[in-house]
Structure 1
Amino acid sequence: MRSAVNTGLGPLTLDAQGFRGTTAVRVGEGSRRVLIQGCDLLSDLRASRHTALDTAPGVLNLTIRGCTFTGFRTGVLLNNDPSGVDVRDSTFKQWAERAIWIRSNDDGAASNVDIIGNTIWPPDPSGTVRQPIQVNGTDDKPIVNIRINSNHVRGTAVSHKDPVGRGSADLISLHRCQRFQVVGNVCVASGDVGITVARQSMNGVVARNQCLRNASAGISIGSAESQYTSDVLVKDNECLDNGRADVSNSTPERARVGINIYHGSNVTVVNNRCGNTGNGKTQLYGVTIIASSGVAMEGNTLTENARSTVYRAAR
């Protein structure tokens, strides 16, 4: 799609099996007001290594709605500097690296992005990354104004470090983002964390999510690799039955938790429910606070955790 303006694509089926290029559909440079709706994009992971759809520089007001992406290494790649993008009510199956990937590069960073109401099935084990929704800004080009809301994301219930099963990593991951919302998502059976917001992300809300049966934390604000993650409201989430201790899972015990705060600053944790519902008692702590400052907690229900409600450590 070269410099498309006021253009629609779909409904249609695009079979990219046997295609040897890098991208099946590229929204061309300078495109404006493009609607891609009701499209089925198909490929074969065993025969190709390409992305279903990506963006050239200068894309403005792109909507992807009601589409299905099957058999690609990456489903949707928001590359360069797209602004005003809405990926909504779409389904991603048999992907290998990422279902949705938003990243900064030398040409800029995405802004004003909505990822809403999508269904993402577990990854194919052939990938090396295996993250369903991954957002990667940079320190000088952060991703600004992003909403990741009401998505249903499922892993394989196998550790991402398992040498055989090769499960998913974090189901929703934001690095170096500003003014973000992660609201109303269901994140189940990750091989690592359910939702991670880390690495210099700031000014956001993580609310009303259900993070269930993930291998590590249900929600992690910050990480060991983060310099800081600041000014985040964590509210009204359910983080239940997270944390596993299997032979392939190297998660430290303090990370088997409902909500993990690591190198966090000015993090408010309000009205969350963190605990175990079954007999397994895999979730050891309700909240962990490590090397963090300005953490406020109020009205949380932290019952039925195997060890204690809160774990604190200086580092």
Structure 2
Amino acid sequence: MLTRRSLLVLSTGGVVTALVGACAQQPRQTISVADFGSRGDGVHDDTDAFRRALDAARLAGNTTVRVPASPAGYVVRHLTIPSGVTLAGDRSRPALLASGQTPLWIALSGSGVVLSDLTLRTRGVVSAAGVRIGQGSDGVSLRNVSLEAPGDRPPLALVDVGGSTRNVTLDGCTLVGGSNGFRLIGAADGITLTANHFAGWRDRAIWFAGTHDGAPRSVRVDNNTVRPHAPGGRVRQPIQFTGFDSRPTVDVAVTNNRVTGPGTDYLDPLRPGSADLISLHHCSDFRVTGNLAQGGGEVGITVAQQCSDGVIEDNTCVSNGSCGIAVGSATSRWVRNVQVLDNRVVGNGVRGRGDRTPDWARAGIVVEKATGVTLSGNRSGNPATGTPQLYGITIRDADPRLERNVLTGNLLAEVQR
């Protein structure tokens, strides 16, 4: 066990070789930022105390740095959490309060880094990223962390992940604000987002983007809640995968998420709605299952732009401005081999201010410029009189296989070609 005396020797640059060697033989150690002089009064700058504690943990290895409960919080500037170190609060989620104008606030770099049980408030002084997971990192986790960036000067992303990362987990976190909640651009492998809550974002809550050099693979987005966006965004897309034909995102699972829009049209001049709630472009080997997509300003779930080999199953798409599910699009060069199974798509095609949706798109399911598509066991219609869905299924430049679909109550036709 690291004693206070040992830590003081370590932090002042004393003889550390024996201590480090001993720690390598021991179970995980725990130290506290309070041992290094933190005040946690919400006024005094505690950056130096945090940095000393983190440096001691880095030298010792396999160490957790504890942040004690504090009603006022800890004022800190830029911090780097090094390999093998956990920075953790407790059930009260003590707050770190950003100080000083900075593009990047908290950096997680290397392998085996954990940030847990904390509240992080950017306070309008962070421009690029609240938390940055560095390029090439492996085995980095955020667990039970609240990131808050309300106001008119949000960072570009609350959590920003660099390329060539592996085994990144975001679990049980709450992300409020930011232009983007979670953003990953470039190659990555083994990314899991589960049981998180997103609100107050402007452009995207969750964004995975491939580049010409590489794309994510083995992505799991499961059991997250995405609330409507805040005013001021241009994209306004809750869950988005984008990329390039030459570098598709491979092995994607978007499952059991609850995604809601504000219930207004995307082009509403007074309160612009969201774009497609769940959107996959340039993805292969994908599963979109068990999601709720409700109140979007355009489509509930879209799979388009050169996607292939996937399943859209057991989703509920309700009261969206265009169709509930779209497979392919007018701008897709192709979409191939998609199964659309046992979904419930009702009451879509909602009309609103600024609405430019063509009537053929006010449908439960639209298949356009796609091959090898099967629609089976879907329920598509209007749940009650006065609801807007015009067609159960719309087919354009495609020839999907239709099996056992229940198409009832649509205002104009069950199938429109």
Taking structure 2 as the reference length, the TM-score comes to: 0.73
What is residue 285 of structure 1 aligned with on the other side?
A: 391
1:218 aligned residue: 324
Distance verdict in 2 for CA 1:129–1:45, change over 3 Å? farther
| Cross-structure match for 1:55 | 161
Give the one of 90, 94, 99 matched to 2:196: 90
Indicate the residue corresponding to 1:116 in structure 2.
Answer: 222
CA displacement, residues 21-54 of structure 1 (integer Å, 9 cap, x when unaligned): 3111111121111111000001124123420011
Matched, 1:233 2:353: no
TM alignment of 1:29-44, pairs within 5 A: 29-44=135-150
Q: Which amino acid aligns with 1:296?
A: R
- Report if aligned partners of 1:174, 1:197 keep a CA contact under 8 Å in 2: yes
Unaligned segments of structure 2, at least 5 residues:
1-106
SS of corresponding position for 2:181:
strand
Give SS of 1:21's match: strand
- TM superposition shift of 1:2: 4.9
Question: In the alignment, what sits opposite 2:231?
Answer: 125
Cα distance in structure 2, aligned partners of 1:201 and 1:30: 27
How does the TM-score come out when normalised to structure 1?
A: 0.96
User: What whole-Å deviation, never above 9, does each CA across 1:278-297 have from its counterpart, x for those lacking one?
Assistant: 2213000000110113x101
Cα contact 1:2–1:29 (8 A) shared by 2: no
Q: Which ranges in structure 1 are unaligned for 5 or more consecutive residues?
A: none
**Rounded Cα–Cα distance in structure 2 between residues aligned with 1:72 and 1:283:** 34
Check whether the contact 1:184–1:210 (CA below 8 A) recurs between aligned residues. yes
Q: Does 1:191 align with 2:300?
A: no
Structure with higher RCO (Cα < 8 A, 6+ apart): 1
Bigger CA drift: 191-200 or 42-51?
A: 42-51
Letter in 2 for 1:303: T
Who is 1:64 aligned against? Answer: 170
- Do residues 145 (structure 1) and 248 (structure 2) align? no
Checking the alignment, whether the CA contact within 8 Å between 1:57 and 1:107 is kept in structure 2 is: no
**Shift of residue 164 of structure 1?**
1.2
What one-letter code is carried by the residue in structure 1 that aligns with 2:361?
A
Q: Structure 1, residues 201-243: CA drift from partner, whole Å, max 9, x if none?
A: 0000000000001110000000111111110000000000000
Q: Write the distance in 2 (CA, Å) between the matches of 1:248 and 1:53.
A: 33
Distance (whole Å) between structure 2 residues aligned to residue 291 and residue 127 of structure 1: 33
Deviates more, 1:4-13 or 1:125-134: 4-13
Q: Deviations over 1:172-215 (max 9, x none)?
A: 00011100000000011100000000011000000000000111
Cα distance between partner residues in 2 of 1:296 and 1:266: 8
- Counterpart amino acid of residue 125 in structure 1: P
* Aligned equivalent of 2:408, options 303, 306, 315: 303
Q: How does 1:198-209 map to 2 (within 5 A)?
A: 198-209=304-315
Tell me, yes or no, if structure 1 residue 46 matches structure 2 residue 152: yes
Deviations 1:134-161 (A, max 9, x none): 1002111111111000000000110011
**Which stretch shifts more, 255-264 or 28-37?**
28-37
Letter in 1 for 2:339: L
Across the aligned residues of Structure 1 and Structure 2, the Cα RMSD in angstroms comes to 1.1
Query: Across the two proteins, how many residue pairs are aligned to each other?
Result: 311
In the TM superposition, residue 248 of structure 1 has moved relative to its aligned partner by: 1.4
Displacement after TM superposition at 1:8 (Å): 1.2
